[in-house]
Amino acid sequence: MSAGLFYGVILLALVGTLSAALLYRRFVLRPIEGYQTLRLTIDRALETNTAVHVSFGASALREESTLSAIASAGVLYYVAARATLADRPTITTMSDPVTLGLGQDTLRRAYRSRGALNNYVPSQARWYPSGPLSLAFAAGVGAEITDSDVYANILTGRFGVELMLMAEQPIRYNRPIVAHSDRIDGLAVAYVVSETPLLGEELYAGSGYLDPTPLHVGGVIAQDLLRFAVIIGLIVLAAMAFSGVVK
């Protein structure tokens, strides 16, 4: 990609975000079922004295999945803050050791925001190493879900087909899963295992729904604007190709 186009797209996103942030009260975000379920699921876990589990999967800070790790951390913050007073702590798992630091920090900040820092234990964030196929990680997380009596599983970040292995126990006991993956194979599995999957860019819109500051809502609107820009671009290019203007 040429540098001009690269920075042009970034500038468009920046201007879109800031403009929409200024006018954010005028916009109403469309409901996303995954986020609506998330609230109810956490409350249900609190009522039934069971734990909530958030997994980052293979999302890794420093790699191309960095931003999916950051977006997942936003979801973890929301979940942990809402479930601070639960008897069973919110746990989080990941296969990247650098992301372990992000998970611990996010949990710590969530507990601090509710004045419950004393309840926070660093080992609520748990690292499971992944082998060549990430299945070792999935097996570890699967065991964790059983051991910790997890009611709700929020699996957001980078997963492949190993997502199925993690979802096996919740499916068997009919427990809710909110699943997402930034990989296509993982996304296909997420669609099958979850009644309310987060598809494609919906994870990245999470901050606008869970932490609706003007800039976060602006970011979600910019996301939609960019999507429309891509659709229009594709249609125009297709029309030009059909008419023989471009080959």
Contact 166, 138 (CB under 8 A): yes
Site for other proteins in 69-88 (CB under 8 A): 70-71, 73-74, 77
From 8, 36, 119, 147, residue interacting with other proteins (rule: CB under 8 A)? 147
Q: Using the minimum distance from each CB to other proteins, give the nearer residue, 42 or 84.
A: 84
CB of 224 to other proteins, least distance (A): 9
Residues 187-246 touching other proteins, rule: CB under 8 A, are: 187, 189, 191-193, 195, 199-205, 207, 211, 213, 215-216, 219-220, 222-223, 226-227, 230
Measure the CA angle with vertex 127, ends 52 and 79; round to 5°. Answer: 25
Q: How many residues bind other proteins (CB under 8 A)?
A: 82
- What are the b/e assignments for 184-210, b being 16+ CB within 10 Å? eebbbbbeebbebbbeeebbbbbbbbb
Give least dist CB 232 to other proteins, A: 13
Which residues, in sequence order, are bridge partners of residue 92?
Answer: 54, 125
- Does residue number 57 form part of the binding site for other proteins (CB under 8 A)? no
236, 221 contact by CB (below 8 A): no
Tell me how far apart the alpha carbons of residues 28 and 232 are, in angstroms, rounded to a whole number.
Answer: 23
| Residue 27 sits in the site that holds other proteins (CB under 8 A) | no
Sheet containing 91-94: order of strands? 125-127, 91-94, 51-57, 150-158, 177-179
Nearer to other proteins, 41 or 223 (CB): 223
> Restricting to residues 163-182, which ones interact with other proteins according to CB under 8 A?
164-165, 167-168, 171, 182
Site for other proteins contains 55 (CB under 8 A): no
